[in-house]
Amino acid sequence: MSKIKNFINTTSANLKSTVARFPAAILFLVTTTSIVFTEIQGNHFDDNILARIAFSCIFGAFLSIGLQFAVERFNNLKKYSLMLNILSFVSAAAYYLFMTDGSTSQSMVVHLFVIVFAVFAATLYIPSSKNRLNFGNVFLAHFKSAFISVLYSGVMFLGIAAIVSAIDLLLFNLDYKAYAHSANIVFTFFLPVYYLSLLPKFNSQEEEDIKKSEIAYTYPRVLEILVSYITIPLISIFSIVLIIYFIKILSTRVWPVGQVGPMVLGYSAAVYVIYILGSNLTNRLAVMFRKVFPYVLIPLVAMQLVSSYIRIEAYGITESRYYVVLFGIFSITGALMLILRKNKNPGAVVLLAACFAVISIIPPVDAFTVSMNSQKSRLEEILTRNEMLKNNEIIPKSDLTVQDRHEITSITDYMFRMGYLDDVEFFPEKYAKENSYYGNFDKIYGFNPQYGIYVPEEEPRFMYAMLDVSKQMDIEGYDKFIKANIFTSASEKVKIGDINLDGKNYTINQKFIDNELIIYASDENNATLVEVSLKQLIDGLLEFAGDSKAVMAPEVLTVNRATKAMKMKVIINELNVDLTADNMNINGNIFVFVAIP
């Protein structure tokens, strides 16, 4: 019982000292928790304004923590502690005004993530700056604090959820929002506060703080086993797989279509984390890992950069590709630093990561400006090529290839999600907003969004088309017609109907040769009078197989031909086509109009 009491007393004392140590961060966390509470409850406030305030508070919390570590690291800053706390609030307000938009966009989320990462990386580095402390110890203290706080918070939430569930089932009904509120309090407030409470005052010379730091720097045996004898061997095996894969690429000269980038990016991040975690370990595996893996990392990341370049050449730059490339450059630069520097302090690599993150948000080389200009240029090129851009205005046009329609759709949707359309001078301003963009795509470009695209011919394709019976059919110049079924047949000639003109009997037939369906008429002597090939029509329909419109006007589904003996018009009423690498299966029905000239 006394142990539990001591634990509670120690935890309470740590939390109280944390509030005194990080007052600004605590206020930011309280505000963020309150905003999430308001969102869970449902409110009459503007959601976008609440999101902007929450984003600003998250930034302010991280900044205030970093400033506090700076105060503890540099003694001459202690007298400015209050001013620096005020600075964090001013910076949060500036973030709200200049770094958030009127509506929550994907770019706003990415901006926050990158800025917070840069601030956090700098925060990790500050206590060990100028080699004041061993960076590996600082990182280990943060890692242990994060692990413990996440574990405790997870157990706490599960316990609270079980209690809420028991009360709801056994005693009286509780609002279902109780679970969300519990998660908010635990993960938005308690988790970060408890995490901060476990962090020692790294640069303090007080005896109590030194003891706490020594405990934080102690390497748990379980973690040593996990890093040295489990994680490092797994990374080594994964590295061998990547090396074999890249040797295969070099031999076949067939580059991957995008899956390798995120994989190598995750691999590089894992290598750096394990490198830093194992920087103070002296066992044989850890020492070998630190010596070898900077050399292994460089060629693997270089291959990933080549793969990313191929993707960028084909599809332009997006913010995700920008960061994949930037992280690749960082990985190679960091590996070279670890190879060439006499001091193998990984803290310099973390500081380098913060610098790269800052670069990625500074115009005009930031991820968003670069990606916007790249995609804008792609869109402008496609529109110009299709004669859809005149006098800086988009001219709607429907007869584009499925590839161009798909490209226009994907580029415009991407730019809309990122909030870039307002900055595209030729895009209609009235359609750039969320309540106007959706539902007006066809008015802007002249066709419906093309989200699908037919797969390569060696892959299966399916197409369905049906005649719009509400439209008039032009039958002028034709004497009679029949409705006939068409289908794939192994027979060279299949009779699909009979027709009588001027007292003479004629046969309407189909033949299917080399994936070409031909409708033709023959006389009583089996002489072919006229034939109509449906190949070009079907190929065109297959090209637009991803079109959302299956019901089509008669003129789109019509093929005709005339000879001296007879003229014929074929209008497709309904058509199913299933194309594979080996064969084509056709099933449907048609109208066949004929006349004697």
Residue 362 lies in a domain: no
Q: State the greatest distance between any 2 C-alpha atoms of the chain, in Å, as a whole number.
A: 117
pLDDT in tens, 522-543: 998 889 999 998 887 887 777 6
- 505 vs 522: CA distance, rounded Å: 9
The token duo for 507 is 């046969």
Mean pLDDT to the nearest integer, 267-278: 94
Query: Do 18 and 48 lie in a common domain?
Result: yes
Helix (H, G, I), strand (E, B) or coil at 447: coil
> So what's the pLDDT on residue 439?
65
pLDDT at 252: 75
Q: What percent of the chain has pLDDT over 90?
A: 54
Both 352 and 372 in a single domain? no
Average pLDDT, the chain: 88
Q: Is the pLDDT of residue 453 over 80?
A: no
Window from 24-38, 54-68, 106-120 with minimum mean pLDDT: 106-120
Confidence of residue 590 (pLDDT cuts 50, 70, 90): very high
Q: Which of 161-170, 452-461, 547-556 has the highest mean pLDDT?
A: 161-170
Do 402 and 484 belong to one domain? no
Does residue 401 lie within any of the structural domains? yes
Q: Is a pLDDT exceeding 70 seen at residue 584?
A: yes
On whether residue 579 sits in a domain, the answer given is: yes
Q: Does 451 fall in a domain?
A: no
Q: Where are the beta strands (DSSP E) in 376-515?
A: 389-390, 393-394, 461-467, 480-487, 494-501, 504-513
Asked whether residue 135 falls in the same domain as residue 232, the answer is no
Query: Residue 569: is its pLDDT beyond 80?
Result: yes
User: Are 242 and 188 part of one and the same domain?
Assistant: no
Examine the pLDDT at 585 and tell me if it is beyond 90: no
197 with 243, same domain: the answer is: no
User: With contact defined as beta carbons under 8 Å apart, do 118 and 255 qualify?
Assistant: no
pLDDT of 426-447, one tens digit each?
998 888 765 567 667 888 999 8
Give the pLDDT band of residue 556 (cuts 50, 70, 90): confident
In a domain, 496, yes or no: yes
Pick from 403, 419, 445: which residue ends a domain?
445
Residue at 435 is within a domain: yes
Q: What is the pLDDT of residues 311-349, one digit of tens each?
A: 888 889 988 889 999 999 999 999 999 999 887 789 999
Q: What is the pLDDT of residue 248?
A: 85
pLDDT of 57 over the 90 cut: yes
- Find the domain containing 507 and state its range: 461-595
In this structure, are residues 143 and 277 in contact, taking their beta carbons and an 8 Å threshold?
A: yes
Final residue before a domain boundary, out of 166, 183, 217: 217
Q: Give the pLDDT of residue 456.
A: 45
Within 266-376, strands assigned E span none
Q: Do 483 and 432 lie in a common domain?
A: no
Of residues 25, 31, 23, 24, the one with CA closest to residue 51: 31
On whether both 278 and 387 belong to a single domain, the answer is no
Residues 487 and 417 grouped into a single domain: no
- Residue 464: its pLDDT value, please? 83
- Residue 505 pairs in a beta bridge with 500
Question: Exposed, middle or buried: residue 550 (CB in 10 Å: 0-12, 13-18, 19+)?
Answer: middle
Q: What percent of the chain has pLDDT over 70?
A: 93
Instruction: Report yes or no on 318 lying in a domain.
Output: yes
Q: What is the pLDDT of residue 107?
A: 78
What is the C-alpha separation between 590 and 150, in angstroms, rounded?
67
Q: Phi and psi for 446 in degrees, rounded to 5? A: 95, 5
Instruction: Report the C-alpha gap between 39 and 451 in whole angstroms.
Output: 33
CA angle, residues 74, 77, 82, in degrees to nearest 5: 140
Q: What is the pTM of this model?
A: 0.71
Residue 74 pLDDT > 80: yes
Mean pLDDT of 293-302: 93
Q: How far is CA 163 from CA 33, 135, 149, 160, 167, in A?
A: 21, 42, 21, 5, 6
DSSP 3-state assignment of 474?
coil
Q: Please give the tally of structural domains in the chain.
A: 4
pLDDT at position 117, please?
Answer: 96
Residue 450 lies in a domain: no
229 and 207 inside one domain: no
The predicted structure's pLDDT at residue 546: 52
Instruction: Based on the fold, state whether residues 100 and 21 are members of the same structural domain.
Output: yes
Query: What is the predicted pLDDT for the residue at 10?
Result: 74
Do 397 and 530 lie in a common domain? no
Query: In this structure, what token pair is assigned to residue 161?
Result: 């959820």
Domain final residue pick, 391, 417, 445: 445
